[in-house]
Structure 1
């Protein structure tokens, strides 16, 4: 105890000597910065976002750093100087070390080009850094190219990001985004400080964007100093970009060369370049991104011929500290109001505000993340959707809802949602309508009357940071479903996976409980009366088990479990019910129809009901494989859950014809085709059809209990189990024998065919 007290007194004296008040003593959880040179322990970052520097300069008379409001640096008896910064914003920061008046790079830091020089930089970990983290996903390439510029009479450098799949298909072509840095930086900025490649890799892996190429080159912005921007003539760079670089890229990369497939964006001065160049070249660019700088006004629209016809997107973003608290954007005006005015004029415009950041890289990284999913989309009525599906994929045959014939000689006399209209709903899963073709949207609305968002409402997607919500895709899905008379099932509020770490930061039970409540209240409350039902808790039970674990709940050791204990499930259901008392609330899981996991599910559900949790239904996911479908277990499980007074839905149905079953992810739409192998044989398809027919016979048997049967995907291309042929439409959206087996065995071959009338709630 005496030693500990002495250490504390020593620390207090040290911080006092550094000029830090007792209440400003940094938290002692320092870690080396990720931007350090290999093997260097300093600078270090703590959980407050402060930086600790250690500089060996025994002969120096003074040492400091370029961060304002930093402590004085103090030298010890070995000539080592130590100092601390104030609390910094999350993300990347440039800095220098000052030794006796000389500004030098920190010899411990990696070097980055910014502020017109190669110098030091430090990364403060962000609560939402996962979107640019290095993950176990397929990665694209950042390719360095040199192109000759006749106008400047020199070879110039550009970096070109190509998506992970670029080298797999030599016939496929891609849209292009030309992405510009700001003043004081160069062509390295976006790929190094901005992590543009990692952001794209992760977005593509999650299926959030259509893969496209990004070109990053030096924008000649450093030829002008701050204060001289009013007279900045970007015509020289415009010539380099439009007349020289774009033709080079179109010649040397597989690009889509038409105007709808070319975008330009930039940060700070790069946004000013973007505005000037795009407005003068609307036959070249269709999508415009302006990060922390320029805005486009309604006067710009009026004064630019063809703007409304040619511009597909205007995106404007800032850091909240750039425009909040009495601050004004660098170019004046109110960018949010200006962007809204464009929307009122019928222009597809979007405004994004990065929470708790200023004119810095974290604002721009987030801006790219928000901007990228909006690129290369077109309007279908009032619905945005990506062109990827129609440009790169074979077009399915025209279809009618009645007496459909397919290449596999599939014949039906009714469609599936009508075959079971008096029994239960028939759903599909996907983040509709974005990135679906017209034909695919038509299939979805003709054949299904319920929809589950596959990814866009998962915690990490919709709520990546404590004060950051991403409602655009969920809002679009809910509106699309309403327009097409489809009910929505929300997926998912609480899950051990795809949940950002910020929920659990600090580990305090009360804080985490409040975060859980606010998350559920905000999400469920936003769609109160619009979303019919919710997966409140997803996959809380451990896999496998034995007769012993089957007598317990056997809950996963998740962060929710570690922080709140088993009560987190009860709390989640209570919070969801408070937010929307009319919503049907589910526990959802896979493999709970069989064995010890089923036994554990019964123990868990009984406990939740005894605790007063407002749980009303159970979701059996239903990821099965032909030849291994546990029909008897499924039949019994539905009866067991009904005995507790609970409704049941089959929430993620797919039946593969080969490969592993539930819990193992495949390539998915937009990813490398894992296990695509050979096409399904007639025997495979017949076995799958028989399996689906038997399953739907069980579901029909329990129609008084079954509320909904949802297929996990739209067709064999848009599925997480690509290559295993799991669904009732093939990869080209043709009907499969399984579809006919389901509807023809329903005993309703003479039933009325499809109509466009609304489907009433059961």
Structure 2
């Protein structure tokens, strides 16, 4: 081994650093003058069950989102039962490491507790009762974490692909007023917290315009909304850099911050003609849909790095409009895209591989700041 490399490794070990990061700038430090760098964490990571993962999370990121543990079915499983254990641990982890915390998510039609829309007799509740239940849910949760959780995804995925309102049970019972009420209740519970609307495919023109309509509607009623969360579940080819830039500029014109809340880039072929993040969709696996079960070819690794570099060059260009970029998962082995929309595939969507090592994409992202 080269004697200088040996010296670096020795010094890194003495300092308690992984040699892997001895010469690597962390994401949060590289982008400290640009925007927050966040990661979605699962239950095991919230519980700090794996020290290597905890160290990677705290060294690389300065914003935390619970991947699932703050969704309604987990945090409010029964009408008069709240389960704050995991959210408390998330807040404690963030507080110990000076991290920004996003509560995800208050009102969403999916991963919902079964009691929400039903009376004791099993009938569907009316608008007045649903409004009461939304208020109790939000005021209890946001109120408990007032001053501890910095921002909330207040309403998640309320739009259909054409930009109209999704025909969820929330909408069928309450119309668009459920969105107004959710934002009002959240602001009342914690006036200082940032409040966001979050959805997928918000780069697509129809859905983008739908989100802008929601933002402008809330603002017209003097209802606080601070940002739009663009779930960036993208591929090597879509959406185009030009379309992403147009969306950033149009959202910023409404006066809200832009967040890229669920960034990952699939390298696998899509079984459909247009992207989606609808969790109810699934397809059958086959070798054509899972071409890299034993590792990613260098050529595709380069494609992924180049794609991430293009995206972050754009983000840097518009850093005055962007508040945060959050990766949806810490490393490739934990990416939900291994199982969606086809279960059992091997995808490589993130900046760290299955051994927690930084990929070419990691270095390409860092270099967009350094060069």
Instruction: Tell me which residue corresponds to 2:146.
Output: 528
Instruction: Find the residue that maps to 1:510 and give its secondary structure.
Output: helix
1:607-646 → structure 2 map (5 Å cutoff): 607-646=217-256
Instruction: Tell me which residue corresponds to 1:514.
Output: 132
Once the two structures are TM-superposed, the CA of residue 515 in structure 1 deviates from its matched residue by 0.7
Among 71, 78, 95, the alignment partner of 1:482 is 95
1:112-511 → structure 2 map (5 Å cutoff): 398-399=18-19, 401-403=21-23, 412=24, 414-431=25-42, 432-434=45-47, 436-506=49-119, 507-511=125-129
> Structure 2-normalised TM-score?
0.85
| Residue segments in structure 2 that go unaligned for 5+ positions in a row | 1-16, 120-124, 281-288, 339-345
Once the two structures are TM-superposed, the CA of residue 499 in structure 1 deviates from its matched residue by 1.2
Once the two structures are TM-superposed, the CA of residue 400 in structure 1 deviates from its matched residue by 5.1
Residues 711 and 436 (structure 1), Cα distance of their counterparts in 2 relative to 1, 3 Å cut: farther
Among 319, 341, 360, the alignment partner of 1:737 is 360
**Alpha carbons 1:492, 1:538 under 8 Å: kept:** yes
Instruction: Tell me which residue corresponds to 1:36.
Output: none
Among 312, 337, 360, the alignment partner of 1:696 is 312
* Pair 1:718-2:334 in alignment: yes
Once the two structures are TM-superposed, the CA of residue 612 in structure 1 deviates from its matched residue by 2.2
Instruction: Pick 1 or 2: higher relative contact order, CA cutoff 8 A, min separation 6.
Output: 2
For the residues of structure 2 that align with 1:436 and 1:737, how far apart are their CA atoms? Answer: 27
Once the two structures are TM-superposed, the CA of residue 501 in structure 1 deviates from its matched residue by 2.8
Among 286, 294, 299, the alignment partner of 1:678 is 294
Instruction: Find the residue that maps to 2:258 and give its secondary structure.
Output: strand
Which deviations, in whole Å up to 9, do the C-alpha atoms of 1:392-423 show, x marking residues without a partner?
Answer: xxxxx9445331xxxxxxxx4x2211111011
Instruction: Find the residue that maps to 2:333 and give its secondary structure.
Output: coil
Which deviations, in whole Å up to 9, do the C-alpha atoms of 1:647-683 show, x marking residues without a partner?
Answer: 11100000111133541669xxxxxxx9572311111
* Pair 1:584-2:202 in alignment: no
**Alpha carbons 2:351, 2:362 under 8 Å: kept:** yes
Among 560, 579, 585, the alignment partner of 2:170 is 560
Among 188, 206, 215, the alignment partner of 1:596 is 206
Instruction: Find the residue that maps to 2:191 and give its secondary structure.
Output: coil
**Alpha carbons 1:594, 1:630 under 8 Å: kept:** no
Once the two structures are TM-superposed, the CA of residue 695 in structure 1 deviates from its matched residue by 0.8
For the residues of structure 1 that align with 2:160 and 2:251, how far apart are their CA atoms? Answer: 19
1:38-49 → structure 2 map (5 Å cutoff): none
Once the two structures are TM-superposed, the CA of residue 747 in structure 1 deviates from its matched residue by 2.4
Residues 739 and 662 (structure 1), Cα distance of their counterparts in 2 relative to 1, 3 Å cut: farther
Which deviations, in whole Å up to 9, do the C-alpha atoms of 1:445-490 show, x marking residues without a partner?
Answer: 0010111000000011100110111111111111011111111111
For the residues of structure 2 that align with 1:559 and 1:436, how far apart are their CA atoms? Answer: 37
Which deviations, in whole Å up to 9, do the C-alpha atoms of 1:674-697 show, x marking residues without a partner?
Answer: 957231111111111111111111
Instruction: Tell me which residue corresponds to 1:655.
Output: 265
Aligned CA-pair RMSD: 1.8
Once the two structures are TM-superposed, the CA of residue 627 in structure 1 deviates from its matched residue by 2.1
Instruction: Tell me which residue corresponds to 1:539.
Output: 157
**Alpha carbons 2:184, 2:223 under 8 Å: kept:** yes
Residues 457 and 399 (structure 1), Cα distance of their counterparts in 2 relative to 1, 3 Å cut: farther
**Alpha carbons 2:48, 2:54 under 8 Å: kept:** no
Residues 454 and 569 (structure 1), Cα distance of their counterparts in 2 relative to 1, 3 Å cut: same
More strand by share: 1
**Alpha carbons 1:665, 1:721 under 8 Å: kept:** no
For the residues of structure 2 that align with 1:629 and 1:444, how far apart are their CA atoms? Answer: 28
For the residues of structure 2 that align with 1:399 and 1:517, how far apart are their CA atoms? Answer: 50
Instruction: Find the residue that maps to 1:511 and give its secondary structure.
Output: helix
Once the two structures are TM-superposed, the CA of residue 595 in structure 1 deviates from its matched residue by 2.4
Instruction: Find the residue that maps to 1:707 and give its secondary structure.
Output: strand
Which deviations, in whole Å up to 9, do the C-alpha atoms of 1:33-57 show, x marking residues without a partner?
Answer: xxxxxxxxxxxxxxxxxxxxxxxxx
| Residue segments in structure 1 that go unaligned for 5+ positions in a row | 1-396, 404-411, 546-552, 667-673, 749-762
Residues 400 and 732 (structure 1), Cα distance of their counterparts in 2 relative to 1, 3 Å cut: closer
> Structure 1-normalised TM-score?
0.42
Once the two structures are TM-superposed, the CA of residue 517 in structure 1 deviates from its matched residue by 0.3
**How many equivalent residue pairs?**
328
For the residues of structure 2 that align with 1:591 and 1:578, how far apart are their CA atoms? Answer: 30
For the residues of structure 2 that align with 1:491 and 1:509, how far apart are their CA atoms? Answer: 24
* Greater C-alpha radius of gyration: 1
**Alpha carbons 2:20, 2:357 under 8 Å: kept:** no
Instruction: Find the residue that maps to 2:223 and give its secondary structure.
Output: coil
Which deviations, in whole Å up to 9, do the C-alpha atoms of 1:331-384 show, x marking residues without a partner?
Answer: xxxxxxxxxxxxxxxxxxxxxxxxxxxxxxxxxxxxxxxxxxxxxxxxxxxxxx
